[in-house]
């Protein structure tokens, strides 16, 4: 059982002992720390916070605890109920709220939940703000409101529809163009809120929808991370239905993966590549992704005359670099699309609309589109951490071993070899070291990952 406290929020498994898991006590303490910080950070006394959750089994319990805590601090709560991460992000500025909390553990399995914290722009907090909240939670220095000053709860379940309207109004999205293409698409909503939002969006765009696991019960039918090994059912369904492609999202709908018409993975790394290809074909500009993302985005950006930059892993780091570089699209190689014309957050609804526009204008099949992009193959592996493992020393040893190569240490250790690369970093969300590699073939990517894992284990004395 695990509780992970980071600048982006608190994430843990349900049940067990306090301070070791995400128990009701920990949820209240962290919500109180956020509300207390918000009172000192905001310039108003009448505070308002937007709350939404994915469909996971613990969601309603955690939401009740968090909402009641904020009300107890004298903060009004706009309760969106079942929602998506990007929906909460757009709701914060639309409601002129002072912040937001999304209750979701994203791609983690059902026993996990989390509080993701937003500022008044609907964007994730920066490191300094997150550190202050962690300190407040540790000190438990909270002052709750007296009875006449308690906050109010305002329920608003219309925001998924509002979000869809916002997507339809984007300058590069034309519903008529998509309707004329007559697409048929299979959607795997992993029995969470993507099963509500994505089919609704597709129907508004005139797409024929085949639903798979779109009932938001929170009983995930497979591991909810949208990786190839978890997606056999939709790959089969796309072929059976003779669909144009498939769409897979994670439980909070900020990651987007496509299945090609032949039942093969389009590749979550190529979600951003394809969406950027469409946007850059209409508007010249720059792109940003993180250090663990494919070189293919750089290649496509340069083809369109733009400049590509890499940021440290983490949405807030990508957004910061996007703003600094005036990037017109960016995101992460895990299928996270950030399109500033909409908002600075990963958004599977926006990504879906941009991809449909690309396919409607290009014609041909999704498999043909994938074949048109530079071909890179990634391996994503991990090493489970034990409490006595000194991760920093391990990474430093790997840096030293490859000091003659092109090495970046802004986020873990990334070693760029001429024909491939490897990125080693400690996860912010799980007790693991992630080992990402990319090469010109899958065998080469897997082989490089296995070699590096062997070297790490040797250094750590795990062999």
Residue environment code for 132-162, b if the CB has 16+ CB neighbours within 10 A, otherwise e:
bbbebbeeeebeeeeeeebbeeeeeeebbee
Active site residues: 106
d(CA 162, CA 176): 19
> What angle, rounded to 10 degrees, do the helices at 348-362 and 194-204 form?
30
d(CA 391, CA 393): 5
Rounded average pLDDT over 311-334? 95
Give the 3-state secondary structure of residue 439: strand
Rounded average pLDDT over 91-105? 98
Pairing of the two strands 76-82 and 208-212: unpaired
pLDDT at residue 429 is higher than 90:
no
d(CA 405, CA 222): 40
Please tell me the class of the 162-372 domain: alpha beta
Query: Same CATH topology for 3-156 and 378-460?
Result: no
pLDDT at residue 427 is higher than 80:
yes
The tens digit of pLDDT for each residue in 363-402 reads: 999 999 999 999 999 898 998 888 778 888 999 999 999 9
pLDDT at residue 6 is higher than 80:
no
pLDDT at residue 1 is higher than 70:
no
Rounded average pLDDT over 29-42? 96
**pLDDT score of 390:** 86
d(CA 413, CA 237): 39
Rounded average pLDDT over 302-325? 95
Rounded average pLDDT over 289-313? 94
* Domain regions of the chain by residue span: 3-156, 162-372, 378-460
**pLDDT score of 310:** 92
**pLDDT score of 9:** 82
362-371: long-range contacts at Cβ-Cβ below 8 A with a sequence spacing of 24 or more?
365/244, 365/260, 365/261, 365/262, 366/244, 366/245, 366/258, 366/260, 366/261, 366/266, 367/260, 367/261, 367/262, 367/264, 369/274, 370/260, 370/266, 370/267, 370/270
pLDDT at residue 431 is higher than 90:
no
Q: Which residue from 427, 397, 437 is spatially nearest to 313, judged by alpha carbons?
A: 427
Q: Rg for the chain (alpha carbons), in Å?
A: 22
Please tell me the class of the 3-156 domain: alpha beta
Average pLDDT over the chain, rounded to an integer: 95
Overall pTM > 0.85: yes
Rounded average pLDDT over 123-152? 95
Contact at 8 Å (CB) between 66 and 51? yes
Q: Is the CATH number 3.30.420.130 carried by domain 378-460?
A: no
Rounded average pLDDT over 107-131? 94
Q: Which residue from 151, 130, 140 is spatially nearest to 51, judged by alpha carbons?
A: 151
pLDDT at residue 8 is higher than 60:
yes
Rounded average pLDDT over 440-451? 96
Rounded average pLDDT over 449-460? 91
pLDDT at residue 463 is higher than 70:
no
Q: Which residue from 317, 202, 331 is spatially nearest to 270, judged by alpha carbons?
A: 331
* Rounded percentage of the chain residues whose pLDDT exceeds 90: 88
């Amino acid at each position: 059982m695990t509780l992970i406290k980071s600048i982006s929020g608190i994430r843990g498994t349900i049940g067990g002992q306090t301070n070791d898991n995400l128990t009701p006590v920990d949820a209240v303490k962290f919500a109180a720390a956020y509300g207390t910080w918000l009172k000192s950070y905001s310039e108003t006394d009448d505070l308002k916070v937007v709350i939404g959750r994915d469909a996971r089994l613990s969601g309603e319990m955690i939401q009740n605890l968090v909402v009641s805590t904020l009300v107890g601090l004298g903060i009004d709560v706009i309760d969106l109920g079942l929602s998506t991460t990007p929906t909460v992000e757009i709701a914060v500025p639309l409601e002129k709220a002072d912040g937001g909390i999304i209750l979701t553990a994203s791609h983690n399995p059902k026993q996990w939940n989390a509080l993701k914290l937003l500022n008044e722009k609907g964007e994730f907090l920066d490191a300094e703000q997150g550190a202050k909240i962690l300190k407040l939670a540790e000190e438990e220095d909270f002052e709750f409101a007296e009875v006449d000053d308690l906050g109010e709860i305002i329920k608003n379940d219309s925001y998924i529809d509002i979000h869809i309207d916002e997507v339809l109004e984007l300058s590069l999205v034309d519903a008529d163009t998509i309707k004329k293409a007559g697409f048929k698409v299979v959607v795997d909503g992993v029995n969470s809120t993507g099963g509500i939002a994505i089919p609704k969006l597709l129907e508004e765009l005139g797409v024929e929808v085949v639903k798979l696991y779109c009932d938001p019960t929170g009983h995930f039918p497979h591991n909810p991370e949208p990786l190839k090994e978890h997606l056999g059912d939709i790959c089969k369904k796309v072929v059976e239905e003779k669909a144009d492609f498939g769409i897979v999202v994670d439980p909070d709908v900020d990651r987007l993966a496509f299945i090609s018409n032949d039942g093969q993975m389009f590749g979550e790394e190529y979600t951003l590549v394809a969406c950027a290809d469409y946007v850059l074909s209409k508007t010249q500009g720059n792109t940003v992704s993180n250090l663990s993302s494919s070189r293919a985005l750089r290649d496509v950006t340069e083809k369109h005359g733009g400049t590509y930059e890499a940021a440290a892993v983490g949405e807030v780091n990508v957004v910061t670099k996007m703003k600094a570089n005036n990037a017109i699209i960016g995101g992460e190689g895990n299928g996270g699309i950030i399109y500033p014309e909409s908002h600075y957050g990963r958004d599977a609804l926006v990504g879906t609309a941009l991809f449909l526009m690309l396919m409607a204008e290009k014609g041909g099949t999704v498999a043909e589109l994938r074949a048109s992009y530079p071909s890179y193959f990634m391996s994503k592996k991990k090493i489970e951490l034990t409490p006595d493992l000194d991760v920093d020393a391990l990474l430093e040893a790997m840096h030293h071993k490859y000091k003659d190569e092109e090495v970046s240490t802004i986020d873990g250790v990334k070693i760029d070899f001429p024909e491939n690369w490897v990125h080693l970093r400690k996860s912010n969300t799980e007790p693991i070291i992630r080992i990402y590699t990319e090469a010109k073939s899958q065998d080469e990517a897997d082989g490089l990952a296995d070699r590096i894992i062997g070297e790490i284990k040797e250094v750590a004395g795990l062999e």
